[in-house]
Amino acid sequence: MARRFALVILALTLTAVTAAAQARGAQAPAAPPTPRAQAPIDLTGYWVAIISEDWRWRMITPSRGDFPSIPMTLSAQKIAEAWDPAKDESAGEACKAYGAPGLMRGPTRLNITWLDDDTLKMETDYGMQTRLFEFRTPPGNPAPSLQGRSVAQWIVAGGGRGRGGARFGAMKSVTTNLRPGYLRKNGVPYSDRTTFTEYWDMHTETNGDKYIVITNTVNDPTYLQAPWITALHFKREPDGSKWNPEPCDVRF
Amino acid sequence: MNEMTVRRTVLVACAFLALAVSASAQVDLTGSYQTRMYEDYIERGPGEFMGNFTGMPLSDEGRAKGLLYTSNLPSTYERQCLPQSAGIFQYRPVGFRVWSENNADGDVVAWVIGGDNLRNDIRIYMDGRPHPSPNALHLAGGFATGTWEGDTLTAKLTHLKTAWIRRGVGIPASDDTVITLHMTRRDDLLTMVTIQEDPHYLTEPHVVSRVWQWNPRGTAFDRPQCNTANEIPSLEDTGGVPHYIPGQNPEETYMAKMFNIPQEAAMGYAYTLYPEYRKTLKGKYKPPADCVSRGPGYCCGWIETQGRPGGAPNLTCNDGGFGTLGPRGRRTTAESN
């Protein structure tokens, strides 16, 4: 009985493997699916930040020196204590708090679309910024910028690999090539050596509500004593009717 | 091959397939996790400013009940452990442990979250059992069932006792509260998302997302349980319940005055959670004097700071005259990096 069972399983496996090989051989080699086609979750659409955490540090610009909860070094603390918004304005650095690690904690809406099959585009109305998530990174090292370079990949989770049924997974992005900026609007600095890692998860509730939850880690060997680890949540909106672009503002 | 053998083979193959899918959809959550208090630090560490309901979608009833609260209320015997209820763990400063309970075949019957912040463990049943009647016993840990959605364990938590949503400022939760919990582990980070609904005290779901970090010593310093003791001798055997009379809470405006924000911004109206509320704030908000000139308590809350019990690890902060404190405890601003 056991031997017969083993033979049956072996035969089934061989049949399946042979059939798959024949099917592949009969067709011309297919182009690998694009990142857009491979996406296990659909991040596109309009999303709004729910400021249910750290309200007074995110919704308004806190006063100078109000920087608990960021594991900054003493040198960072000294820089933050000397923060002068007028200086940033006169230096044309009004968007310093809108670089990727600071931007994502802002009171913003996101509009996420596919720029092309390999690149996810995220726009914010808060500060009118654009981040690009590149699944296929072109060669070369671009010049440092406010939003840096974000290299993305899909993480396909268990249960999502087969045909049919729900697909699960997340997007991981790693952002480097950042120009120095602020983690908090009142001048808590991050340096150009910063690496910003994000895991983008999506949750659909039984009432149909959808949330993006982003688990963030900011590593900065210059101004942080330890990685700054937080999570953010955004809720899906039906359309862009509440989209309200506003330029960078140093003081509010 | 007779029909019986074919049928049996198909059944076995299906079972293997189901097992493979099921196994791949699970992540081992076991371990001790240490809190990373990089969000809502004041609330979770030294203690929140009175009259601070920012970030909350409170109903009028929830707001009114919150404003009855005084700091003496948790000193009554029957309320001393309420801040350690399961529903409040996202606002506690300590870690927790996660483990599985398995049946004789090794199948996970329940995932359990335990720690000193949970007066009862949260036991998330994975065996498909239904939730009990609404009239069944309510516990501090509630009753929870869970399913895997990819690598995320999603649980529904009901049957919680009346408690607080946030500790220290009296924001209430009723025993009709329902919490949806999403647990996602990536390497050593565990992200916990709670979406709390309460038909009495909230006007919309209250969403919180936090990160814990796996650490074998993550719960080493936590107390195993909550004990009660007489904290205010004059209350002993009086049956008195400390409270403010409605409309007469002298701390109601403390937060708004401290940070120069409109009173409504601090009172937990749902519309204050969304970016468009900034239009209302613009022109009304003027940042208060900076922390250094403002003096003790402004930045770090009102009692504990780094290097002392309850202080967050690895943070620096102006502690109002005690010197700047870093990860190794007390330091002075003159100390170099």
pLDDT at residue B180 tops 90:
yes
Q: Which amino acid is at A185?
A: K
Tell me what the mean pLDDT of segment B144-165 comes to: 95
Element (H, E) at B32: strand B31-35
Q: What is the pLDDT of residues B205-242, one digit of tens each?
A: 999 999 999 998 877 656 667 778 877 778 778 888 88
Flag whether pLDDT at B48 surpasses 60.
yes
The answer to whether the Cβ–Cβ distance between B326 and A74 falls below 8 Å is yes
Angstrom CA distances, A161 to A41, A222, B150, stand at: 12, 41, 10
Residue A64 is predicted with a pLDDT of 87
Q: How far apart are CA A87 and CA A94, in angstroms?
A: 9
Average pLDDT of chain B, as a whole number: 81
- Whether pLDDT at B305 is above 60: no
B277 and A157 in contact by Cβ < 8 A?
no
Chain A nearest-CA distance from B234, in A, is 37
Question: Nearest residue on chain A to B45, judged by CA atoms?
Answer: A69
Residues B65-76 have a mean pLDDT of 90
Strand-pair partners of A109? A48
Query: What pLDDT score does B310 carry?
Result: 41
Closest chain B C-alpha to A184 CA, distance in angstroms: 12
Number of Cα atoms under 13 Å in the Cβ half of residue B135: 0
**CA-CA-CA-CA torsion sign (A130, A133, A139, A141):** positive
CA pair distance A59, A99, nearest whole angstrom: 17
Torsion of CA B278, B282, B284, B288, to 10 degrees: 90
Query: In the prediction, which pLDDT does B10 show?
Result: 52
C-alpha B268/C-alpha B65 separation (Å) is 12
Interface test with B, best of A10, A41, A52, A79 (most B CBs within 10 A): A52
The residue whose two tokens read 């003081």 is A251
* Bridge partner residues of A235 (DSSP): A48, A211
Question: Is some CB atom of chain B closer than 8 A to the CB atom of A36?
Answer: no
Q: What is the mean pLDDT of residues A196-219?
A: 97
Q: How confident is the model at residue A248 (pLDDT cuts 50, 70, 90)?
A: very high
Look at residue A217 and give its three-state secondary structure. strand
Chain A contacts of B193, Cβ < 8 Å? 203, 211, 213, 231, 233
Question: If contacts are CB pairs under 8 Å, which of residues 168-197 in chain A contact chain B?
Answer: 168-170
Residue B159 has pLDDT above 70, yes or no: yes
More confident residue, B3 or A65: A65
CB B194 within 8 A of CB B181: yes
Q: What is the mean pLDDT of residues B12-29?
A: 54
Q: Looking at CA atoms only, how far is residue B191 from chain A in angstroms?
A: 7
Most confident of A7-16, B120-129, B162-171, B313-322: B120-129
Pair B49, A68: CB distance under 8 Å: no
Name the closest residue on chain A to residue B206, using Cα atoms: A52
**What confidence tens digit (pLDDT) does each residue in A19-75 have?**
544 544 556 778 889 999 999 999 999 999 999 999 999 999 998 888 888 888 888
**B11 touching A, CB under 8 A?**
no
Determine whether B136 is exposed, middle or buried from the number of CB atoms within 10 Å of its CB (0-12, 13-18, 19+). exposed
Note whether A205 contacts B: Cβ–Cβ < 8 A.
yes
Whether the per-residue pLDDT at A190 is higher than 80: the answer is yes
Cβ contact B145:B156 at 8 Å: yes
The shortest CB-CB distance from B278 to any of A59, A166, A206 is to A59
Tell me: pLDDT of A111 over 90: yes
Q: What's the length of chain B? A: 337
Number of CB pairs < 8 Å for A and B? 221
CA torsion angle for A243, A244, A248, A251 (degrees, to 10)?
-130
C-alpha pair distances (Å), B281 with each of A104, B185, B262, B266: 20, 37, 8, 12
Chain B residue closest in CA terms to A106: B275
What does the pLDDT average to over B153-166? 95
- B290, B298, B302, B324: which to substitute to probe chain A, counting the most A Cβ within 10 Å? B290
* Cβ distance of A68 and B41 shorter than 8 Å: yes
pLDDT in tens, B77-108: 888 888 777 778 898 888 889 999 999 999 99
CA distance linking residue A25 with residue A37, whole number of Å: 23
